[in-house]
Structure 1
Amino acid sequence: MDEDVRMTAWVRGRVQGVGFRWFTRANALRIGELVGFAVNLGDGRVQVVAEGPRDRCEELLDWLRTGDTPGAVDGVTEIWDTPRGGYDGFAVR
């Protein structure tokens, strides 16, 4: 069993106003066992925070980078940490 982790990713590109957060939530739910959120940032990026098994977080991160997303992703930067908890499902903020 994979350890639970917290993955925070910042997605750059044309990712606001194209349904990116909703597709991210749908994919997190499809992957399963993930909680967290996706939120638009003032600088045009989308921040994605996901907590759950490491392999599930890596699958979501891979999806963010594949280009099989709405809009156009120019790059993704991520950091890994220990889970903080307190999330009820995966939200769009």
Structure 2
Amino acid sequence: MPAARFLVSGRVQGVFFRASTREQAVALGIEGHAINLPDGRVEVMAVGDEAALDALERWLRKGPPAARVDAVERLGLPEQAVRGFRTG
């Protein structure tokens, strides 16, 4: 399945960003993970069809109500097979 890595910067840690991302991903049928990075960003690795990845990217640009998203960088990844969506 198509895969993408998103790097989300702004006020995205400590505001339920990862848990909210998981909810969105599961609703879109996306598998992967959302993890905090040491530099304050959140990394989202997503595997799903292109339309779902695009929809997740649109959501990531807004995030949950308490977040402030300054930038989202999208990097393509080789096709992958992942099961479930985890946060860490």
TM-score (normalised: structure 1): 0.87
Measured against aligned partners, the alpha-carbon deviations of 1:24-51 in whole angstroms (never above 9, x if no partner) come to 000001112x110000000000000000
Q: Is 1:26 matched up with 2:20?
A: no
Identity of aligned residues (%): 38
What amino acid does structure 2 have at the position aligned with 1:27? Q
Contact 2:8 2:71 in 1 (8 A): yes
2:86 maps to: 91
Root-mean-square deviation (CA, aligned residues, Å) is: 1.1
Q: Is 1:58 matched up with 2:54?
A: yes
Partner Cα separation in structure 1 for residue 67 and residue 78 of structure 2: 30
Q: Is 1:36 matched up with 2:49?
A: no
Q: Is 1:72 matched up with 2:68?
A: yes
Contact 2:6 2:75 in 1 (8 A): yes
Give structure 1 stretches of 5+ with no counterpart: none
2:44 maps to: 48
Partner Cα separation in structure 2 for residue 29 and residue 59 of structure 1: 12
2:12 maps to: 15
How many corresponding residue pairs?
87
TM-score (normalised: structure 2): 0.91
Q: CA deviation at 1:84?
A: 2.5
Q: CA deviation at 1:52?
A: 1.1
Q: CA deviation at 1:80?
A: 1.3
